[in-house]
Amino acid sequence: MDRTREYGTAFAVAVVHVVLLSVGFLILADQFSFPEILRATSQERLALFREHQALIVPAYYMMGLSGVTQIMLAVLFHQSFARPGSTLLTGALVAGVLAGAFQLMGFMRWPIAVPYLAEQMAQAPSAEMQGTIALLEGLLNRYAGMVIGEHLGFLAQGTWTLLVSLAMFRGRLFAWPYGLVGLVLGVLIIVSAFEQLGGPFEVIGFLSAPVSAAWLGWLLMCGISLVRTRADAQGPKFFLVSALAMVVVMGALVVPAVG
């Protein structure tokens, strides 16, 4: 069966996914001290949020929409491999859909719930009321952000990446280097998910931004490989040009994340 249309759709969705997260990240890094602001006090976070709300809200909405594109990617990759009944691919589909759902729930608190809390904080008549609002925002940040968006989201994203990468070794759709790079990134994403447990795990916090950026580069290269795949599901060969392109694309996304 000719699945070139599905391959092209997967590539287009991968591009949209990368753009949504990259542009959103750059706006938030510039206007909201992201991601460091997530570990600041509630008072600091809400004050800065209110100051730049006009840009922060659409940026977070863009990143929230990446949850939808993640779900679409999980379905499109599942269909592209075209192996009905595969336990590995079924597990990848479930993990990919969960990753998108967790991501969507984590990001969407910012355009809807946080503006209300920021407004209430600005209008609070007493220090006691401000403390109550700060407690509510801190709880929302830890549950919707750290538990759902980051911990569960990274676990599901890492699992999807691992399972999809393993599937790459079992067919002709992708050259083996895509699977190898994906396995490394999947493990690193899962490891970075444990930062939210605190204590000794806080030292791995530096992994999150660069690994997520490298993952976007890998995903984009997977999309490019798919769109170049033949109708008989034979993926393109991985030669020097492909290797250089992967290094350049991943590096171009990692540099802003660590800068």
Band of the pLDDT at 85, cuts 50, 70, 90?
confident
Average pLDDT for 134-156:
95
DSSP label of 164: H
Q: What residues have CB less than 8 Å from 117, skipping those under 6 apart?
A: 46, 133, 136, 137, 140
Q: Which residue in the block uniquely carries the two structure tokens 């407004």?
A: 119
Which of the pair, 163 or 40, is modelled with greater confidence? 163
Name the pTM for this structure: 0.94
Contact 248, 221 (CB under 8 A): no
Per-residue pLDDT tens digits for 21-40: 999 999 999 999 998 898 88
Q: How far is residue 5's CA from residue 21's CA, in Å, rounded to a whole number?
A: 25
Cα(first)–Cα(last) distance of the chain, in Å?
45
Q: How far is residue 206's CA from residue 48's CA, in Å, rounded to a whole number?
A: 23
Q: How far is residue 170's CA from residue 167's CA, in Å, rounded to a whole number?
A: 5
Burial of 62 (0-12, 13-18, 19+ CB in 10 A): buried
Band of the pLDDT at 198, cuts 50, 70, 90?
confident
Q: How far is residue 94's CA from residue 4's CA, in Å, rounded to a whole number?
A: 24
Average pLDDT for 115-142:
94
- Residue-range domain boundaries for the chain: 4-258
* Confidence (pLDDT) at 67: 97
Per-residue pLDDT tens digits for 227-242: 999 888 899 999 889 9
Mean pLDDT is lowest, of 19-23, 33-37, 159-163, 205-209, for 205-209
Average pLDDT for 3-29:
94
With 80 as the cut, is the pLDDT of residue 259 above it? no
Nearest to 18 by CA among 57, 59, 63: 63
- For residue 80, count other CB atoms closer than 10 A to its CB: 24
The sign of the dihedral angle between the CA atoms of 159, 66, 117, 57 is positive
* Confidence (pLDDT) at 4: 85
* Confidence (pLDDT) at 75: 96
Band of the pLDDT at 223, cuts 50, 70, 90?
very high
Band of the pLDDT at 1, cuts 50, 70, 90?
low
- For residue 51, count other CB atoms closer than 10 A to its CB: 12
Q: Which two tokens stand for residue 122?
A: 């600005």
Contact 17, 93 (CB under 8 A): no
With 90 as the cut, is the pLDDT of residue 258 above it? no
